[in-house]
Structure 1
Amino acid sequence: MRTTAVSLLFLLVQFQDVFAAPTQVPFDSDLVAKRPPRKLRGRFLHLTDMHPDPYYRVGTSEKSACHRRKPKKAKPRAGEHGIPFGDCDSPFSLTNHTLDFIDKKWSEEVDFVIWTGDSARHDNDRKLPRTTKEIYELNRAMARKMEDVFLSKGVPVIPTIGNNDVWPHNIMLPGPNDITFQYSVIWRSFIPFPSFQVFQRGGYFSVDVIPGSVAAISLNTMYFYTSNKAVGGCEVNDPQDPGNLQFDWLEVQLQTFRSRGMQVWIAGHVPPSARNYYPECHVRYVELSLRYQDTILGHLFGHMNVDHFFFLDAQEVTHNGQARSSDALEEDEQDVKKKHKDLYGSLLKNFNHVSKVSNIDHDNYAVVNVAPSVVPNPYLPSFRIFSYNISGSPYVPGDLGVIVDGRGPRGSNAPRPDCLDDLARQNATFEKECHPSGHWNSSPNSPSRRNGLWSPLGFAQYYMPDLNATTNKRKRPPKYKLEYLTFHPSLLHPPSEGARSGFHYPLPLRNLPRSLRNSTVTKSKYAPYGMHDLTIPSWLKLARRLGKAKHKKLRARFRRYMYMGADEER
């Protein structure tokens, strides 16, 4: 099985014209449930934007998308594992090497995998335009590899549809359609049977990753994305719009999980910003995220290829369902490559605003984490390992009997007239008293707000700084190394020698640099943030520090992580 999976991508390259990948023979969708229960590790993997390219050729020109022509001597050539900080997609040697490395170092150390899309190449070569067949074959090959590395070990995988996983890219008609059908077959091993019909209709699903305790929701962000002109954008007068149908479904999912006392991770491809989402879609996402703040552990996305975080703010929800365009934090996927300073500057502006708020009401915020990509376009290959708390008593939400209007932020419970006045927005109680959907479920004791059972504790980000280097004369592939982690170094070790036996290590020491394996270390170049956990108050505390101009060194590190030192390289 392993040999077949490793070589499959190579076969697709060699025999594209004469070899069609056979129809997937899927694992039983209950494979994970039928295995003996695995001991919880308290970690999960977030992997995104792999972009494997079957036409990639070593030594070719970057201008040809690394498909042909040898460049001039002064120009970079396509390397064995890709071009760092370039415009080319991933050779199969990189995607295979990445998953083989994760298989060896991490597959036995994580409880589930969040896989946020874009598992086909970009459509960036007019001489070799993409086809639907190629897109599905690439996704099928990647799915088989994920089955081999993770699902065969009992580790659930939660995939999402990316904007380059469809043809033409960015465009997806309302379902059910060929796209939802094809991925329901390709991902049948990952989608639980109760979610199968819903996925065939809309391309989204939910699954218990820790049965009865923690769930993951995979969204189809194509129905919210402004670049998808085949949908209406969650317009209020169109309840059958695929975006509205998805939000109606999401609301039911969140209410159901909350009534069961469960916690939820939300994952998708395109991040929920005012620039990326249609205005109506964005406001519905923000409103639902805050209405179920005590149930949602976090929001995980890809697409942007830039390492950053931002906030969903209650002030983005207005009485007419429009989001404040000035609060947009994202750039289009292609614009990011040209406008590095714009995103960084927008984030600092937003963080500066947060730093000036004297009394922050944590009820009014949610945090979105955007992970960098595996594809070295335009930065360096990377992935994240999140750690979460597996000790303590479960949080019991209150007000389980509250019934909320199922029509989201445009329900029949209209705001009072004084809430329509812009001056009312300056009142600290505006968001709670005037938002259109009634009760917001939030609590300072929920796992998203206070470190307790299932709370996110931190993440370690690994990257490949020497993409074109070989480690020795045998020409072994370049190595993934720790770029940084969010933890305070002291949290990586037990508080005392006597506590070692019962201590749960957030990260295996063997997968850390030697300097961090020393329990006496209190400061490290790998740990500039020193965060004690990844709860909402902790993210706001970091944002307030970044928002102040006096923290120049911290800002410089944050920017370097965003772009992986791209300004220093090219």
Structure 2
Amino acid sequence: MWTSFNIVMWLSSIFMSRIIWNSEAIPLDVYDFHSTQHSFQINEFNNKEISGKFLHITDLHLDPYYLPNSNPKKYCHRYAKKSKKNKSGKFGTLGSDCDSPYALLDSTFSFLKENFHDADFIIYTGDSLRHDRDSKIPFPNDDVISGHKSIVKYVTESLDLSKTKFIPTLGNNDEWEHNQLEGGPNTLFENLTQIWAPLNLNLTSEFANGGYFRQDINSKLSVFSLNSMYFYESNDQIKDCDQINSPGAIQLKWFKNQLKNARQEGRRVLIAQHIPPLDSDGESSFLPQCEEKFVQLLGEFAEIISGHFTGHTNLDTLTFVTESENISGKYNLYYLDKDEGPSKKSTDNIILILNNAPSIIPGKYSTSSKMFGVLSDYIQYYLDINKANEIGRAEWKIEYIASEAYDMKQLSPSEWAKVLDEMKSDQSESWQNYLKFVTVSSE
């Protein structure tokens, strides 16, 4: 059994989630951009030369009440009278409803500090807090605040923020109440503005009112941290995006204006949000009009969007934005379902790829003047939780490298179209790899 993360160049973020522990591995992804002899300086980072690497992290779910050698059926919070039932491990407990212990986050951030200190930035797609499952342990607002502070403490102690920008988003477990977030301004945004202050983020009035913001990496690349809670169908505090004053509609208006500005200024953008538009079954996660309007914006501005990163499902999956063959300018989503396969649906006219991570992913992006910010590769790392518990230490290893696993030159829509075409054969190596990687397996 494993845990994993992805490394992307740019640095993508680390994603640790509870549900992923039910699979064989916990992942970490690393992304690559095309690299050349050219280099650009990041104005915000004291003229530091960029490396073309970034990390994507998600779903850390830190549980301060986690007890090693306790009863997993009691959420790893209490001991059973019969000692044989006390099976929770030091680094986590696979196949349970337990969240992440300090030991797992310690090992994760130590691994990041040792191996990715040259990352340009880290995208963190949310869910910092434990799940509110244990009726015997209340989840007061003070615990929400302390949970967010704990993640910031890990970040500030592990990273040199003058060199590596940490860019967070809000998950559905990051609020006062699970899945619920009212329109802003609200007390959560007020608290997060103070808690995230050490990260030196661009938290303007848009964040105070809506929980989203734009973070410029330099004059050629920006990260949009979106608040998917204002699109999420399970959030009963909001209305659909056809309501002009709904939080989602207001966010979409801001998002469109930011995309227009980026296009005019010749900037590429990366989009980060916690919840993907489609869930692990390929069904909509967003309110109907929020999804429709959001997808049309992705399609309309696909040429400047270098990447879209989410977490939440705890699976390593791909979703594609496609252009309709029948209606010009009409865009749709196609989810690559491991239970269905690309042979069941059309995979033509791919214009954008949405990456969903189960944990930590490092990546690369191009630093050439013409291709700056274009994703070129990513690496998925994993941690064997059972082995770590057995030997008493965490050993992060590479699960796969995207360019090698799928035989791609770069992570472009045209290259992904070729991969999907090959995957139409159930016995193709690329399809068999995808089936294996979805749930994080190195076997």
Which TM class, normalised by the smaller chain length? 0.7 to 0.9
How far residue 471 of structure 1 moved from its aligned partner, in angstroms, is 8.5
Q: 2:345 aligns to what?
A: 353
Q: Does 1:63 align with 2:73?
A: yes
Q: 1:222 aligns to what?
A: 229
SS of residue matched to 1:344: coil
User: Where do 1:496-515 residues align within 5 Å?
Assistant: none
Per the alignment, do residues 562 and 361 of structure 1 end up closer, same or farther by CA in structure 2, a change over 3 Å counting? closer
Are 1:62 and 1:77, in contact at CA under 8 Å, matched by a contact in 2?
yes
Q: 2:104 aligns to what?
A: 94
How far residue 35 of structure 1 moved from its aligned partner, in angstroms, is 4.9
User: Where do 1:383-462 residues align within 5 Å?
Assistant: 383-391=360-368, 393-394=369-370, 452-462=371-381
How far residue 386 of structure 1 moved from its aligned partner, in angstroms, is 0.6
Q: 2:434 aligns to what?
A: 558
Per the alignment, do residues 550 and 470 of structure 1 end up closer, same or farther by CA in structure 2, a change over 3 Å counting? closer
1:83 to 86, 90, 93: 93
Partner Cα separation in structure 1 for residue 191 and residue 67 of structure 2: 29
| Percent identical | 30
How far residue 171 of structure 1 moved from its aligned partner, in angstroms, is 0.3
* 553-562 vs 180-189, greater mean Cα deviation: 553-562
Partner Cα separation in structure 1 for residue 334 and residue 144 of structure 2: 31
* 1:268-305, Cα deviation, whole Å (9 max, x unpaired): 00002251011101111110001111111011000010
2:238 to 214, 223, 231: 231
1:536 to 413, 432, 435: 413
Partner Cα separation in structure 1 for residue 50 and residue 175 of structure 2: 35
Q: Does 1:465 align with 2:384?
A: yes
TM-score, normalisation: structure 2: 0.83
Aligned positions, number: 397
Partner Cα separation in structure 1 for residue 416 and residue 82 of structure 2: 46
1:486 to 389, 399, 402: 402
Per the alignment, do residues 149 and 317 of structure 1 end up closer, same or farther by CA in structure 2, a change over 3 Å counting? farther
How far residue 187 of structure 1 moved from its aligned partner, in angstroms, is 1.4
Q: CA RMSD in A?
A: 2.6
Are 2:277 and 2:291, in contact at CA under 8 Å, matched by a contact in 1?
yes
Partner Cα separation in structure 2 for residue 248 and residue 35 of structure 1: 30
Unmatched runs of 5 consecutive residues or more in structure 1? 1-31, 331-342, 374-382, 395-451, 488-526
Q: Aligned partner of 2:397: which letter?
A: K
1:135 to 141, 144, 150: 144
Are 2:323 and 2:349, in contact at CA under 8 Å, matched by a contact in 1?
no
How far residue 470 of structure 1 moved from its aligned partner, in angstroms, is 6.1
Partner Cα separation in structure 1 for residue 168 and residue 160 of structure 2: 12
How far residue 125 of structure 1 moved from its aligned partner, in angstroms, is 1.0
Q: Does 1:118 align with 2:127?
A: yes
Per the alignment, do residues 262 and 55 of structure 1 end up closer, same or farther by CA in structure 2, a change over 3 Å counting? same
SS of residue matched to 1:461: strand
Q: 2:204 aligns to what?
A: 196
Q: Aligned partner of 1:176: which letter?
A: P
Are 1:71 and 1:77, in contact at CA under 8 Å, matched by a contact in 2?
no
Partner Cα separation in structure 2 for residue 222 and residue 71 of structure 1: 41
Q: Does 1:266 align with 2:271?
A: yes
Q: Aligned partner of 1:123: which letter?
A: D
Q: 1:206 aligns to what?
A: 214
Q: 2:3 aligns to what?
A: none
How far residue 151 of structure 1 moved from its aligned partner, in angstroms, is 4.4
Partner Cα separation in structure 2 for residue 318 and residue 142 of structure 1: 46
More strand by percentage: 2
Are 2:75 and 2:96, in contact at CA under 8 Å, matched by a contact in 1?
no
Q: 2:165 aligns to what?
A: 156
Partner Cα separation in structure 1 for residue 51 and residue 113 of structure 2: 15
Per the alignment, do residues 470 and 240 of structure 1 end up closer, same or farther by CA in structure 2, a change over 3 Å counting? closer
Are 1:352 and 1:546, in contact at CA under 8 Å, matched by a contact in 2?
no
SS of residue matched to 2:377: strand
How far residue 390 of structure 1 moved from its aligned partner, in angstroms, is 1.2
